[in-house]
């Protein structure tokens, strides 16, 4: 055992408690890599540390929307504590054997190969069960005794009994709290058994606040302009308000959440010096996955936040061949032509940005007619 100073490790005097004891990890290769650019949110960090060092035979269930950093949070905490991690992403096809282990053929011999649950129990690691609400409640029931700190009996391996290491911890992540999907975003989420859920301590995560997300962007992409970073945060928050409003009203207005993962994806491409505008990057990384009317709304919001996309000269085949074409002259001629057309008779006027609800109502009326 050795002492770890949590305030020093996480570089904050606001950590709930100071020093704790840890046993050195026996499987160094299972310790996650440290991401020096990762930014912790103090409230959630303290709650996770409280569980890790004072579990009292509980397990930890972290619920939150897609891409808010549930798994990454545990990995980065473990990386700084030099705590080994076993993780598995569950699905509706997973069975208890995927967690415990199974018999396999190696070099002509049948041997029993431990699963992530068994390895974590033996070596005192953190077991991360991603998407736990996708697995069958019947198969999860095999965990009930283990979650309470009792030994695991492996019938398939001649009744071998595995006693849990004192540092064995179980952390589950999911987009729901075990009551099924209320948002319509997470197809396949199941209702979990309440006797099973009774063995967990719960933490609810959401997307980081604006200050933390700004730090994330500036730390991950130092070349990203501060003004652009602030506009990206504003754009993300505006979209999230629409998503939350739809969930609260029971009428989904945007068909996909705007996650921190998506925000970082957009920021990564914006920070690179390419010919792509922020409008095209937003369309590529998020808007194109939506139904057309929602895509149009997102792109109008993009115009409001980032300004209208500058006109780009579309080169004809002739221009492509003629290297001596004066681009500035061509743009000037195009502007004069557009101006003369507008002087004659304006065909349409630019409409103000409508709400997504108005757009959908107008679309439905057209379809009825």
Do 281 and 174 lie in a common domain? Answer: no
Per-residue pLDDT reduced to its tens digit, 293-337? 999 999 999 999 999 886 544 444 444 444 444 544 544 554 555
Do 195 and 234 lie in a common domain? Answer: no
Do 226 and 122 lie in a common domain? Answer: no
Distance CA 205, CA 297 (A): 27
Phi, psi at 19, each rounded to 5°: -105, 145
Per-residue pLDDT reduced to its tens digit, 145-173? 998 899 999 999 999 999 999 999 999 99
Which residues are bridge partners to 20 per DSSP? Answer: 4
Do 275 and 152 lie in a common domain? Answer: no
Structural domain including 128 reads 2-204
Do 350 and 291 lie in a common domain? Answer: yes
Do 223 and 336 lie in a common domain? Answer: yes
Do 263 and 304 lie in a common domain? Answer: yes
- Calculate helix-pair angle for 226-249, 260-270, nearest 10 degrees: 150
Do 170 and 218 lie in a common domain? Answer: no
Per-residue pLDDT reduced to its tens digit, 174-233? 999 998 887 778 888 899 999 999 999 999 999 999 999 999 999 999 999 999 999 999
Do 194 and 320 lie in a common domain? Answer: no
pLDDT reading at 351 higher than 70: no
Per-residue pLDDT reduced to its tens digit, 226-279? 999 999 999 999 999 998 887 777 677 888 999 999 999 999 999 998 899 999
366: which 2 tokens?
């057209």
Do 313 and 214 lie in a common domain? Answer: yes
Last residue of a domain, one of 204, 228, 255: 204
Distance CA 308, CA 62 (A): 40
Q: What's the pTM?
A: 0.80
Distance CA 74, CA 45 (A): 9
- List alpha helices for 25-132, DSSP H: 42-53, 70-81, 96-100, 116-123
Last residue of a domain, one of 204, 232, 249: 204
DSSP 23: P
Report the sign of the C-alpha dihedral through residues 144, 145, 146, 152, in that order. negative
* DSSP assignment string, 259-295: -HHHHHHHHHHHTS--S--HHHHHHHHTGGGS-HHHH
Cβ-based neighbours of 289, under 8 Å, separated by 6 or more: 255, 256
Distance CA 115, CA 96 (A): 10
As for how many domains the chain has, the answer is 2
Tell me what pLDDT residue 359 has: 62
């Amino acid at each position: 055992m050795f002492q770890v100073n949590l305030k020093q490790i996480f570089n904050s005097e606001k950590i709930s408690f100071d020093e704790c004891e840890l046993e050195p990890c026996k499987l160094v290769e299972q310790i996650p890599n440290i991401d020096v650019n990762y930014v912790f949110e103090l409230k959630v960090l303290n709650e996770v540390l409280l569980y890790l060092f004072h579990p009292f035979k509980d397990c930890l269930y972290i619920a939150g929307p897609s891409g808010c950093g549930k798994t990454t949070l545990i990995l980065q905490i473990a990386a700084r504590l030099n705590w080994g991690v076993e993780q598995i992403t569950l699905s509706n096809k997973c069975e208890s054997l995927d967690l415990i282990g199974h018999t396999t053929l190696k070099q002509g011999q049948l041997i029993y190969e431990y699963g992530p649950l068994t390895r974590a129990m033996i070596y005192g690691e953190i077991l991360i069960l991603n998407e736990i609400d996708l697995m069958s409640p019947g198969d999860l029931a095999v965990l009930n005794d283990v979650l309470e700190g009792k030994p695991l009996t492996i019938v398939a391996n001649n009744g071998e009994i595995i006693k849990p290491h004192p540092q064995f911890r179980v952390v589950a992540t999911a987009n729901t709290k075990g009551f099924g999907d209320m948002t319509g975003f997470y197809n396949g989420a199941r209702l979990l058994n309440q006797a099973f859920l009774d063995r967990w301590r719960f933490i609810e995560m959401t997307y980081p606040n604006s200050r933390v997300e700004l730090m994330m962007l500036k730390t991950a992409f130092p070349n990203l302009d501060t003004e652009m970073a602030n506009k990206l945060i504003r754009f993300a928050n505006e979209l999230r308000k629409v998503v939350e409003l739809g969930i609260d009203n029971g009428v989904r207005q945007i068909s996909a959440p705007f996650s921190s993962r998506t925000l970082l994806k957009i920021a990564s491409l914006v920070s690179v010096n390419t010919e792509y505008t922020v409008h095209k990057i937003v369309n590529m990384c998020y808007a194109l996955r939506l139904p057309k009317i929602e895509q149009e709304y997102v792109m109008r919001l993009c115009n409001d936040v980032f300004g209208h996309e500058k006109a780009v000269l579309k080169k004809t085949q002739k221009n492509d061949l003629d290297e001596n074409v004066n681009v500035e002259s061509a743009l000037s001629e195009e502007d004069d032509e557009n101006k003369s057309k507008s002087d004659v008779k304006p065909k349409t006027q630019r409409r103000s940005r409508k709400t997504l609800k108005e757009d959908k109502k107008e679309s439905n009326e057209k379809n009825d007619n």
